[in-house]
Structure 1
Amino acid sequence: MMGGTKSRGVINTRHILFIVSGAFDKLTDIIKNRLNHQKIGFDSRAESSDDESGSLLQGAETRDFIDFGFEPEFVGRLPVRVACEPLSAADLALIMTTSEGSILKQYHRDFEGFGIDLEVSPEAIRKIAARAYLQKTGARGILTVLERIFRDFKFELPSTGIRKLSVSEDTVENPGACLDKLLRENLHLMEDVHREDIERFFQHFLNETGIHVEMDSDGMEAIVARSNESNLSVRSVCESLFKDARHGLAIVMRNTDTTRFTLSSDFVKQPDAVISRMVVESFKTPETAEPNE
């Protein structure tokens, strides 16, 4: 562009292949009206099935595209026209299992990233394909159906210790109920994961403060219960409990030369009160301390 004026160039399109594609919604109605222009009766007003629509598109002519809204000059430059048949449920199942960019394979990789082995039965694949077919959006319908099935699984399973997810027809039909059942059947794994999370937090706390903290079994259960009630992770609960407690424990450690503390569920219920009591006790000399009964 020179002097604010756009310069135009000429492109030789002799060896350029232009490919134009689209759904062309309602084009079948235009074709049908043309074919039935002089027909009167029930058949001329019947709804077209998918098979009939496919056969109608095979007979599309230039005038149909012009009536659809294209400029005659544009249509004239597209001499070769091919109508694609709608994908069947069997086609969609084949796409899920054999195509290189299969969205189902992507879900396999996603779950593998969480250490979870995803296994989908052939019956479930056929059911997924059948539901995707009803979407009438081609292969895009597969993503819609799979996301509905796996959305909550992807959110819930990574923190549970569950290492295998088997998808059956029931899972496709009612993913929420199957997820609840899977979680109930693996509560013991979740308890192990929660315990490991708590121990990792205490190790981090020790590295930061030099204070060794342990929880008795009741305290562990109380932390997990708080996590479930508040819908927070176990680590978040621990961070909240020990945010201010570290200062009090540091005072107790300085006054008593104690570096190891075992806390109970009382601390989880009333962390400030428990730490305050420990601080007060740490300032008492052996002479002023209350005698043990």
Structure 2
Amino acid sequence: MNEEIKDLTPKQTVAELDKYIIGQNKAKRAVAIALRNRMRRLKLPEEIRDEIAPKNILMIGPTGVGKTEIARRLAKLSGAPFLKVEATKYTEVGYVGRDVESMIRDLMAVGYTMVKSEMQEKLREQAEKNTEESLLDLLLPGSNKKKTAATSAQPQNVSQASSGTTIILPSVSSTAPAEEHKVQNENDMSGTREKFRVMLRENKLEDKMVEVTISPSMGAPTFEFFAGGSNMEDIESAMSNISNMLMGGAKSKRKNVSIKEAREIIMAEQLDRMVDHDKVTDEAKQRVEQMGIIFIDEIDKVASRSDRGGGPDVSREGVQRDILPIVEGSKVSTKYGVVDTRHILFIAAGAFSVSKPSDLIPEFQGRFPLRVELEALHAEDFKRILLEPKNALTKQYAELLQTEGVKIEFLDEAIDRMSFLAADVNSKNENIGARRLHTIMEMLLEDISFNASEMGGETVKIDVAYVDERLKDIVQDQDLSRYIL
């Protein structure tokens, strides 16, 4: 488990989220408390710990106001396995499409990859040393004393006959000419190996071609049991794995590659060989069960409107009923083992512009007791989004163009104007929140981005006049403004 997160208070969590997300304090407080409660639960005695279930959250708000970003940043902050899914991609069990249990399998795969990467990072230093030795072996076969020690160091007075009988031979002087010549050759090879080692570290041999043996994946074979609603991709993948094992598995193959490519191939094999896959699976399973977060977007799209007639809708009420057992707590079979979902945190989100939260079936509503309404964004919010976050859009574009020697300076008046225009277009057309700023920035800097390679060393100041020249006509024209998506 991530030890640092245990000391992160709700106030500290909100402060971290404030670095990336503007406003939406209610939502930030709700997720911060949910995260802290998970840490509190882990400190309780085991008999009490199992009785405390996470309080799942339902976020309600228009698109582009930060619902997904809050959940993603929270997962990153906590080091928890995180999966974002869309409710509309799932169908009721028995129909063609993905069954809802596949989200748990996907989350477990995310957790496995996360833990494996962490463990490999700890082994990277040793793996780099091993990779360097392997590259030197490819460049200078037979120059590694450690590898040849077992075969070269034979007893001087003992020999094995073909029948297995031990024959005592006369001892030979260690100063014989042949032995001296052998020692001299070994010293020469050792010196050459060290010269090549220096050249490798200085990247002077990157283009030299060598032949490497590419081994099949070192991971242990895994099995997965599927429910009736599993899609064909999962089944085909499982059948392919079984077929490979029955036929003896994938075979090694030899390939001519450059030193640069060989380093990557050998490094990957070294890390895969050194990591303990059973330990990775156990840690990943524990982390998914105790800390996993699943963000279910577009939950409003599977809510059946109360005024809607007709029969049952496969992608609506049936999906909600299938999600219920997973949210309540069930055991789902994955290729890494059986995962208990009782303590996974579920965050559902939707705009609910057409339907209402009350259109969700009562049982589903009861599984998401915390409801948080996110506020629509206004001009002042857009201004803060352009300036304050660590990854603010203005900073991103300035850094991108700086790579070609073009310096961009956004004046305060230009920021005010862009913020006003984004809010204005949102009010007259579909309100897509902060995503409107992406298109405005692209249109604003289109000419500079296109000609940046010829503008090296120039400084461009973005003022109100520049913004109006690029955007004013389009924004004022009601028909053309629809294209500012």
**Fold shared by both chains (TM-score > 0.5):** no
TM-score by length of 1: 0.42
Greater strand proportion: 2
Larger radius of gyration: 1
Relative CO higher for 1 or 2, CA cutoff 8 Å, sep ≥ 6? 2
Greater helix proportion: 1
